Chains A and B, each alone.
Chain A
């Protein structure tokens, strides 16, 4: 990106100052409520697996899998995008949103075929999460190893 001229800077500042802001309080409340609700459902699923005799560590994976299934199903049914319009980060940040970010492009690019469409595009949005999440935990692990071993 080239440097902006003075005229561009002035216009950009003027236009930005006038543009409508998102309704922050409403959005925060919606995100809090929906995000909280999804996590409560997650807690319910977690408690179910705990009641089967799993320990907390073991139950984490199955809980994630169930929540991913729910997010993916609601995406397939065309409901998750409507939840997202209402809840914003409340439905993006939970793992159900991660599932939504995988299924949405997979559905969308189905018409470009199963290999270069579904297969290649599935991780369009979730890919960066895996790439940077895995790289970060690898780095954290490296530091941990250097310190402790």
Chain B
């Protein structure tokens, strides 16, 4: 069941992205930025948490999920440390992903060459 929900929710989020790319002049880069920001805001409003509970990885794997990860860290840290949590929280939960992206990206580029 959780697989089916992940498929449906993830697929829907991606189809929304496709709508934006095909029907507006937005480039993929613009859509990515828009989605991460939307995720961060929906998370602040408490909405994204509900989507995650429903869709599991279908909500966390698409980029709005990354926005949610950023904001959820901020809120967590504000609760723990107050004002300075606004700063320390941004990468609280997201650091695994960001560091993985940098390190893996670097190593992959050492090993492979572009095929063109």
Contacts and interface: CB of A to CB of B under 8 A. Distances in A.
User: Direct contact between A and B in the complex (CB less than 8 angstroms)?
Assistant: yes
Interface of A: 21-22, 24, 27-28, 30-40, 42-47, 57, 60-65, 67-69, 72-73, 75-78, 87-90, 92-99, 101-104, 106-108, 110, 118, 122, 125-126, 128-130, 132-134, 136-138, 140-145, 148-149
Contacts of B16: 89
A68 B74 contact: no
B44 A144 contact: yes
A46 B33 contact: no
Contacts of B3: 40, 43-44
- The 5 A-B pairs of least Cβ separation, nearest first, read A35-B14, A39-B10, A36-B11, A61-B96, A89-B17
Given A132-B37, A136-B36, A136-B40, A92 B67 contact: no
A138 B17 CA distance: 24
Contact of B102 (A69, A87, A122, A136): A122
B15 A31 contact: yes
B6 A43 contact: yes
Interface in B30-68: 31-33, 35-37, 39-41, 43-44, 55-58, 60-63, 65-67
A63 B33 CA distance: 22
Contacts of B96: 60-62, 64-65
Interface string B64-93: 011101110111011000110111011101
Given A39-B61, A69-B104, A137-B70, A149 B14 contact: no
A144 B74 contact: yes
A30 to B, nearest CB: 8
25 contacts: A27-B18, A31-B18, A35-B17, A39-B57, A39-B62, A40-B3, A46-B60, A60-B69, A60-B96, A64-B60, A64-B100, A72-B108, A88-B21, A89-B17, A92-B21, A92-B28, A122-B105, A129-B32, A133-B39, A136-B36, A136-B37, A137-B43, A137-B74, A141-B90, A148-B78
Contacts of A68: 97, 100-101, 104
B14 A89 contact: yes
